[in-house]
């Protein structure tokens, strides 16, 4: 991103991170993967939500904020086709909110954690004069087939998405169900070359996947599933733009071989979702194909604002 941004900073950080044989997957993926001395692979991911920046407390209420703080981390575990195990939670609570705020927040956290058998095993609870801050870290385990990184896509791979996109701001960004189960089912059935969850926006996240995989991608405009929420927005912007750039859909995009892609589309084996083929990986560039024309697609979506 011009002028810096979270991703430029991650580059800076990666350049200063020494190689470590215990680190199978480090900064730059949805989740890090560690090799413990027992040989076990442990996944770990963290996300922080900040009042006023990531949510409006007066609109969402503390329970949905807690739910979201847990669910975004579960979605990062899903993006690796991992199994969540346990979570720790740090919070900075505005003094004015009192204990009621803390309890509602934890009930929301528990709701999302319980739905995926994730134990909340510890945390750090602070009161302060600032706004609500909540940071969740989830530990998970990889399946026997290993974690699915962002980096394994190759030219020719099909890109599939697990559901329709856009308009999450109408509420789905708070109430979505992380695709933990669907990812595990996909992992059982096919060889997932790469996977990412759509948090920043489809174009931005496909771009992240391509950067890590050192390839490009072409998305086909007519095939991108647009969520019905987009049509309720009525803001005059083209629906496709919302589907490409809104973000916080928390659907998964995966790269698979064309053969396995065809098989998945023909059988649709994952209960509750319809996989959609939205494009292919290519040698380089990010492209949108519309009426047989291919044009450069800017990686629109949420711009991490570290300047």
**Least CB distance to its own copies at residue 129 (A):** 6
- The nearer residue to its own copies, 63 or 242, going by C-beta atoms, is 63
**Least CB distance to its own copies at residue 292 (A):** 40
- Residue 211 burial (10 A CB sphere; 0-12, 13-18, 19+): middle
CB atoms within 10 A of CB 260: 19
Angle between helices 57-78 and 98-114 (to 10 degrees): 30
- The nearer residue to its own copies, 41 or 168, going by C-beta atoms, is 41
Phi (first) and psi of residue 7, to 5 degrees: -70, -35
**Least CB distance to its own copies at residue 20 (A):** 4
**Least CB distance to its own copies at residue 8 (A):** 9
- The nearer residue to its own copies, 73 or 229, going by C-beta atoms, is 73
- The nearer residue to its own copies, 76 or 246, going by C-beta atoms, is 76
- The nearer residue to its own copies, 27 or 156, going by C-beta atoms, is 27
**Least CB distance to its own copies at residue 60 (A):** 16
**Least CB distance to its own copies at residue 35 (A):** 9
- The nearer residue to its own copies, 26 or 152, going by C-beta atoms, is 26
Phi (first) and psi of residue 244, to 5 degrees: -80, -30
- The nearer residue to its own copies, 118 or 213, going by C-beta atoms, is 118
**Least CB distance to its own copies at residue 283 (A):** 29
**Least CB distance to its own copies at residue 255 (A):** 21
In order, the DSSP letters of the chain are: -TT--HHHHHHHHHHTS---TTEEE-BTBSSEEEE-TTS-EEEEEEEEEEBTTTB-HHHHHHHHHHHHHHHHHHHHHHTTTEEEEEEEEEEEEEGGGHHHHHHHHHHHHHHHHHTTT-EEEEEEEEEESS--EEEEEEEEEE-TT----STT--TT-EEEESS-BS-GGGTHHHHPPP-HHHHHHHHHHS---EEEE-SS-HHHHHHHHHHHHT-EEEEEGGGSPBPHHHHHH-SSS-HHHHHHH------EEEEE-HHHHHHHHHH--STT---EEEEEEESS-EEEEETTEEEE----SPPP---
- The nearer residue to its own copies, 120 or 265, going by C-beta atoms, is 120
């Amino acid at each position: 991103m011009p002028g810096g941004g979270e991703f430029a900073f991650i580059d800076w950080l990666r350049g200063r991170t020494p190689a470590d044989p215990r680190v199978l997957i480090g900064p730059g993926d949805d989740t890090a993967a560690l090799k413990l001395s027992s040989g076990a692979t442990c996944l770990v991911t963290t996300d922080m939500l900040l009042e006023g920046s990531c949510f409006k407390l007066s609109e969402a209420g503390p329970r949905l904020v807690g739910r979201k703080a847990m669910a975004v981390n579960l979605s990062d575990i899903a993006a690796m086709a991992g199994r969540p195990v346990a979570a720790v939670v740090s919070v900075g609570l505005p003094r004015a909110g009192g204990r009621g705020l803390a309890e509602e927040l934890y009930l929301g956290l528990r709701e999302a954690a319980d739905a995926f058998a994730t134990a909340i095993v510890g945390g750090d609870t602070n009161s302060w004069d600032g706004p609500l801050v909540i940071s969740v870290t989830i530990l998970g385990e990889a399946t026997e087939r290993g974690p699915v990184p962002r980096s394994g896509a190759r030219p020719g791979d099909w890109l599939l998405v697990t559901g329709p996109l856009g308009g999450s701001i109408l509420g789905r960004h708070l109430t979505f169900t992380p695709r933990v189960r669907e990812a595990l089912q996909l992992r059982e059935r096919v060889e997932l070359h790469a996977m990412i969850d759509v948090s920043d926006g489809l174009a931005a996240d496909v771009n992240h996947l391509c950067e890590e995989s050192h390839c490009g991608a072409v998305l086909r405009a007519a095939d991108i599933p647009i969520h019905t929420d987009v049509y309720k927005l009525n803001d005059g912007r083209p629906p496709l733009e919302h589907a490409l750039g809104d973000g916080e859909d928390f659907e998964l995009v995966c790269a698979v071989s064309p053969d396995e892609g065809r098989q998945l589309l023909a059988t649709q084996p994952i209960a509750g979702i319809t996989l959609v083929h939205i494009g292919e990986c290519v040698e380089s560039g990010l492209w949108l194909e519309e009426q047989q024309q291919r044009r450069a697609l800017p990686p629109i979506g949420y711009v991490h604002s570290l300047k």
